[in-house]
Structure 1
């Protein structure tokens, strides 16, 4: 897949946003947390090196697997013996990019061959410069990689033409001279020149038509200068617009992160409120059940006070509803009676009415009996709690909202 045939930075942005936002079977195999960084790397690369164009294509691994990946296809400029040339390369962004370096290949045309025994390019075209070997995430990037490729290939070009070609323009500017005329080999043939994409320079005229050519060149130069100025202005405006849009997008992403944090806090608070509401509803059910019990007890004992309070037997004022309640009442009464007896014994010792050794014997006996009564009361209380829970579970459907 290739982006629209335009140098417009916005068109490239739209293309990258489209292919990196796809999901399902057509999604590119990059992790979601690195797609934004991949997009930024490619946009920065196309800004500094417009000759490298982002595309999607099928990449075949050494084990035969094929996968659809992003690539930067184009040329990197080099300067070799005072002439400018362009090296065709393909930069593949593998699945683990940018945590791992991309896979770079030189891409010779039909009339080019790869230099044998090149220190950084093997016969298949795979590039292994030190920058790739020392790749560090997240500081390493494609812009620095392209600069390093230009520097390394400028010192030792990896591509050459298969045979030297004659120069069709004898009056061509010296800076455009090919490398085919630089030195001779031992056999007397011309030294093979690298890539055939030199930088373009305006030709010069010759003979008696010099004045006419110069006049025409002046008009062309003025026109070209105006066009270049307009292009520079448009390019500057585009860069400024791009930076503004990127800053806005960064602010939107930050706002989105803040909103997500607030959403999490809101959901957490809502969950806590729901939990509290459930707890209050359960407490309300318990209160309603206790209300029913008290109202039933009042109805049952309402007529017992008609004869007057002076005729009430204190021991029979309260009736235990079951065996556990009766046992709990007895244990509590014994516990409180022993407390009173111990208090009386302490008073007797303080007043000298009882010897101290007799006091100790009585307190030990009473404490032993009090301990057993308290242990029995604890067991009875646990049994009552279990019975109450079972009763609440049986009555719960009546108060369900």
Structure 2
């Protein structure tokens, strides 16, 4: 844990320009975030810096377990941790992975050389990787970095993850300011990537610069010096206990509100799934109705064509019915063929039927003994040969009529379509 930083907070305008610049880059140097989430990532980081100015957005190289290196955004700095009436600053790094914000970021405790990670710790691994319930129950798009840091601060205040290791300073004239600590490699990872576990580090700064360890750790012998004894006033103790109680109540209320919001979000997701299913059903029904409409339009066109054909036939043959009431109706002239093929079909059909009648009459004559059997066979053979030619001619005429009818229907269809 470190005291509050004396460096001024980053300029909000410079932070906005920096995020707009790195998130708008294209090509090989662009950050590996999807285009539809870059605006939300920018808003999350701006809100985080606005609430916690000690955190600064940066870009750094992150190395995965498989050796892949990728340039990612991170929030590097310290977060406040109240513990026993004293506010400590916990150095952390929040990595925004490629899948952010749909999935939770990777959070690491970033101890300086004067700090040691508590072992074991329920939320921090020896490599510094942080694991709290808020990260495990990350919900897109309601979860954000500000709430994450608030949960980190609350979790660390119940069980601080770091303590400072102090050694006696051999310098007889100690300096009141701590020596600068070396920068930590940005490519930290554990389950996300390779991160060397931090070893114990010896502080080279003067004793008394950092706040005391929250664990009451026994330190190496220090040079004897006068320490003023102070006893807490009963009112201060009561005030501190009341504040702790209020913090616990507020934390419980926040957890309850969060659970209620999660249930509400789950209900909205369920309603969204139902609406999507109904949308698919409506689209399917609409497509079926459109197909049925097209089929009915096709049938209507066929009916209109047949109606036109019948109307034409009635108009052509309407004058021929005037002579049906007279006695001198010529049977051969009662029906007129529309074309040569129809006339040829009529002749072949009538000849075929006439031969059928003749063969039937010959059968009766043979049975009555009017015609000899040899003569019957000879006549049936001649009539069958003639009937075969008539039927073959009728089949060819019928095929030609079918082709003509198809051509006529196509011509009529083009007229209706146009």
TM-score, reference length from structure 1: 0.51
* Match of residue 265, structure 1, among 272, 278, 281: 281
What is the number of residues matched between the two proteins? 296
Given that 1:75 and 1:87 are in contact with CA atoms closer than 8 Å, whether structure 2 keeps it comes out as yes
Residue correspondence of structure 1 range 2-401 to structure 2 within 5 A: 30=33, 58-59=59-60, 69=73, 86=90, 88-94=92-98, 107=110, 124-129=185-190, 131-132=191-192, 156-158=197-199, 160=201, 163-168=203-208, 175-177=215-217, 181=220, 213-214=231-232, 216=233, 218-308=234-324, 311-326=328-343, 333=349, 337=353, 370=391, 373-374=394-395, 377-397=398-418
In the aligned structure 1, how far is the partner of 2:410 from the partner of 2:211? 107
Distance 2:258 2:358 in 1: 91
Q: What CA distance in whole angstroms lies between the structure 1 residues aligned with 2:92 and 2:355?
A: 102
SS at match of 1:237: helix
Tell me the distance in 2 between the aligned counterparts of 1:343 and 1:32: 91
Secondary structure of the residue that 2:323 maps to in structure 1?
coil
Shift of 1:269: 1.9
Residues 90, 105 of structure 1: 8 Å contact kept: yes
CA contact (8 A) 1:54 1:71 kept: yes
CA–CA separation in structure 1 for the residues paired with 2:278 and 2:210: 73
> Do 1:56 and 1:69's aligned partners in 2 also have CA atoms closer than 8 Å?
yes
Distance 1:178 1:61, change over 3 A: same
Structure 1 residues 342 and 178: CA distance shift in structure 2, 3 A: farther
Separation in 1 of the partners of 2:115 and 2:332?
118
Does the CA contact (< 8 Å) of 2:62 and 2:193 recur in 1? no
Question: Paired residue for 1:197?
Answer: none
In structure 2, the CA distance between the partners of 1:176 and 1:382, relative to structure 1 (3 Å rule), is: farther
Cα distance in 1, alignment partners of residues 77 and 352 from structure 2: 95
- 1:342, 1:86 → 2: CA distance? 120
Tell me the secondary structure at the aligned position of residue 192 of structure 2.
helix
- For residue 236 of structure 1, give the secondary structure of its aligned residue in structure 2: helix
Q: Where in structure 2 are there 5+ consecutive unaligned residues?
A: 1-18, 64-68, 82-87, 117-125, 129-182
Q: Which has the higher helix share?
A: 1
Between the aligned partners of 1:30 and 1:239, the Cα distance in structure 2 is 30
Q: Taking structure 1 as reference, are residues 170 and 253 closer, same or farther at Cα in structure 2, changes over 3 Å only?
A: closer
Larger Rg over CA atoms:
2
List per-residue Cα deviations over 1:144-175 (Å, max 9, x = no partner).
xxxxx9xxx9xx535735x4334329996783
Kindly indicate whether the alpha-carbon contact (under 8 Å) linking 2:341 and 2:397 is maintained by their aligned counterparts in 1: no
